[in-house]
Structure 1
Amino acid sequence: MRRRNLSVVLGAVSAHDPLARPLSRADVAGRVGLTRAAVSSLVDELIGRGALTEAETAPDGRVGRPGRALSVRDRGPAGLGLEIGVTHLGACVVDLRGEPRVWRRVDRANAGRPAGQVLAETAALAAEAEAEARDLGLRVEGRVLAVPGVVPNGPAGRVERAPNLGWHTVGIADHWPDPCTVPEPENEANLGALAEYWNAEQAEQTFVHVSADAGIGAALVIDGRLFRGARGFAGELGHVPVHPDGVRCACGARGCLEQYAGQAAVLREAGLAQHGPGAAGPAEAGDPVALLADRAAAGHAPTLAALDRAGRALGLALASAVDLIDPDGLVLGGTYAELAEWLLPPVRAELGERVTVRPWAPEALRPSALGRRGPVLGAAQTTVRRIMADPTLLPVG
């Protein structure tokens, strides 16, 4: 019961608008329905655990002592998010308010490289991010790693399959240099969806979040909770067949969405295949997604046609998801969010043609404001959300 009450009090302080008048212990008691004495004891413990701070406020003209204002600390406990992409590594540290304080992203061609080498470089980036966080007065309490692959349910700590990296049954702890800082792996699409839910101003309670980098992933949030499937394999939208007799996919099947709406497919159709993952040399340098956006904005016909084709294929797959799941909305994340100006019209057109058994508004499909930062932000905020739900995870003193 005390654990729950600690969470309730911490949540009440976290939800308070910092621009509003100061929040006192008595205010918290009135909001959560506990006695002032109980709230005072809980606040003392949260201060001792480093979750809250209490500062004296300026006199407001009333008789008596100055008030004291509670707030969530911007120093102390923090979460570290890490990301391994096909073409990059990323790191993010967020404080207990959920605010990003450290961002790092470096270009790396990770496809086909030994998992141990990639994880060693990720560990080095993590150490740099933690050092920067310490300089800001932050202490990392948990680490989560976003990967573009299947992470089974349970505490296995392994990536079962990440075909775009070339990984098969990779144990993270087996390759991590420091056994004290091994991160918990999670599918990047799942973390992107959670970041969307936690950070959107008016997040849908039930939605499908679809994102793309080298591959295509999706995640389903139902009533505010991530749906992982019986074994953790839910969300493999990139391997939903949109043309059953179509081209062969790397997974062995034919006509998978990834072969029509994945980054490599769009670059190929746009005549820019040399800029895709695995390309090398100065002519191929740069961000392929930014290049696609630049070409599309300039009216480059092959690029516009490639994006229209990708949007149609994506709309076909999402129409099936809408009919099956009946979500409140669909969210385009990752690189799709950065190409939304050109993808939204064909996706919406396909949905409009195919979703006929239930009401569907074009506005129910929208881009994420987080773009490619979603997965690593969600990874960092996972630790913070756990602490908010159970403040006893923090040490006393």
Structure 2
Amino acid sequence: MAAASGLTRATVSALVDDLIAGSLLTEVEPAPRTGAGRPAAGLRLAPDGPAGVGLEINVDYRAACVADLTGRVRHRLVEPGDQRPDDAATALAGISRLALQARRLAEADGLTVAGVALAVPGLVAGDGMVRVAPNLGWHDVTVGDLADGLPVTVDNEANLAALSELAAGGLPPSFVYISGEIGIGAGIVLDGALFRGARGWSGEIGHLAVDPDGPPCRCGARGCLEQYAGQEAMLRAAGVATVAELTGADLTTAGRALGTAIAAVVNLLDIGTVVLGGIYAPLLPLLRPAIGAEVDRRVLTAEWSPVELRAARLGPDAAMRGAAGAVIRSVLEDPAGWLGRA
């Protein structure tokens, strides 16, 4: 570390001592000696230091998880149930209760919760206000305190899921993550960084029109992708009641709609990898033929640079894990700030 930073060994030792005292680093067995002098101590992130609580409100469930500084998920809580009958205040009270439960579990493990982050399926302003979440019926919702005074951040669920998949590794630096639930969202990662757009509202792929004369959407437009490839649309078209039953259904219509939307995104952004998450991940073998046919037909560069379709690695937990990861990342990016708070 001294060699990489250009700082003296004494300075690095003093800084490391502070980080160890603040439960951000812990020592491990030293690396094999490679020269004269005292062997250097090995270091790693402290698994018993600060932790993040990640929360998610989606249309048919709410969820929470606790992740430690290494990214390991220590606790996972999921409560299925339709959130649409509840107004925003009732839904937030429910997720607050789940956040407090997660905090108690973390503290029982000896972890200090550094903050909470909430993933929502909607447009989130820079100040954390949820401007609109069409599938929840939310408009201009201020989230407020969720876990007894802990810092709270709010972000779009597809953005957080994309960051979570990026952190899991194995992806190129630029890709689009598409979250398939009752609503459909996208997280756009360019050169290893999330692309938010000028106002932070990029990624609303679910409201790309795949048929301008199609059925009405909750957003007020017609023929949106969600009306063909959203969870409820797919169940309705297949005549089944559960996502599990879709594994035996014909998903050609949904796949063609997805392929049309994906081709538009690829033509616009010149991205070669698309990661399908949410319910799309397990259904990708059934969706792939129709998606692939539309992408090959519509993407101008498909002949020379085929688009790679991948299933998300983290499945339905990606958004809440990304939310917990956002808290952890804030600590790692500003350790001095955390030490000052702690």
Q: Same fold (TM over 0.5)?
A: yes
How far does the alpha carbon of each residue in 1:346-371 deviate from its partner, in whole angstroms, 9 at most, with x for none?
A: 11121111112453325x11111111
| Residue of structure 2 aligned with 1:188, choices 157, 182, 185 | 157
Query: 2:140 maps to which residue?
Result: 169
How far apart are residue 386 of structure 1 and its match?
1.7
Q: How far apart in 1 are the matches of 2:147 and 2:276?
A: 36
How far apart are residue 292 of structure 1 and its match?
1.9
Contact 1:352–1:360 under 8 Å retained in 2:
no
Q: Which letter does structure 2 place at the counterpart of 1:188?
A: E
Root-mean-square deviation (Å): 2.2
Query: 1:5 maps to which residue?
Result: none
- The alpha-carbon distance between structure 1 residues 126 and 67, as it changes in their structure 2 partners (threshold 3 A), is same
Q: Which letter does structure 1 place at the counterpart of 2:131?
A: E
| Residue of structure 1 aligned with 2:246, choices 288, 292, 315 | 292
Q: How far apart in 1 are the matches of 2:87 and 2:290?
A: 39
Contact 2:181–2:230 under 8 Å retained in 1:
yes
Q: How far apart in 2 are the matches of 1:65 and 1:219?
A: 47
Query: 1:89 maps to which residue?
Result: 62
- The alpha-carbon distance between structure 1 residues 177 and 348, as it changes in their structure 2 partners (threshold 3 A), is closer
Query: 1:71 maps to which residue?
Result: 44
- The alpha-carbon distance between structure 1 residues 107 and 182, as it changes in their structure 2 partners (threshold 3 A), is farther
How far apart are residue 224 of structure 1 and its match?
1.2
Q: How far apart in 2 are the matches of 1:221 and 1:337?
A: 18
Contact 2:160–2:323 under 8 Å retained in 1:
yes
Query: 1:218 maps to which residue?
Result: 186
| Residue of structure 1 aligned with 2:110, choices 132, 137, 147 | 137
Query: 2:259 maps to which residue?
Result: 315
Q: How far apart in 1 are the matches of 2:256 and 2:19?
A: 51
How far does the alpha carbon of each residue in 1:32-51 deviate from its partner, in whole angstroms, 9 at most, with x for none?
A: 44332222122112112210
How far does the alpha carbon of each residue in 1:158-217 deviate from its partner, in whole angstroms, 9 at most, with x for none?
A: 1110111111111111xx4666136221100110111111112x2221111111111111
Contact 2:146–2:152 under 8 Å retained in 1:
no
Q: How far apart in 1 are the matches of 2:171 and 2:40?
A: 35
How far apart are residue 395 of structure 1 and its match?
2.4
Contact 1:206–1:222 under 8 Å retained in 2:
yes
Query: 2:11 maps to which residue?
Result: 38
Q: How far apart in 1 are the matches of 2:52 and 2:147?
A: 17
Classify the secondary structure of the residue corresponding to 2:27: strand
Query: 2:83 maps to which residue?
Result: 110
Which residues in structure 2 correspond to 1:193-272 (within 5 Å)? Answer: 193-200=162-169, 202-272=170-240
Which has the higher mean CA deviation after the structures are superposed, 239-248 or 313-322? Answer: 239-248
Q: How far apart in 1 are the matches of 2:38 and 2:8?
A: 21
Q: Which letter does structure 2 place at the counterpart of 1:164?
A: N
- The alpha-carbon distance between structure 1 residues 32 and 269, as it changes in their structure 2 partners (threshold 3 A), is same
- The alpha-carbon distance between structure 1 residues 384 and 250, as it changes in their structure 2 partners (threshold 3 A), is same
- The alpha-carbon distance between structure 1 residues 344 and 65, as it changes in their structure 2 partners (threshold 3 A), is same
Query: 1:360 maps to which residue?
Result: 305
Which residues in structure 2 correspond to 1:268-347 (within 5 Å)? Answer: 268-272=236-240, 275=241, 288-293=242-247, 296=248, 303-304=249-250, 307-347=251-291
Q: How far apart in 2 are the matches of 1:247 and 1:56?
A: 63
- The TM-score normalised by the length of structure 1 is 0.80
- The TM-score normalised by the length of structure 2 is 0.93
Q: How far apart in 1 are the matches of 2:29 and 2:208?
A: 58
- The alpha-carbon distance between structure 1 residues 51 and 178, as it changes in their structure 2 partners (threshold 3 A), is closer
How far apart are residue 331 of structure 1 and its match?
0.8
Q: Which has the larger radius of gyration?
A: 1
Query: 1:119 maps to which residue?
Result: 92
The aligned length equals 339
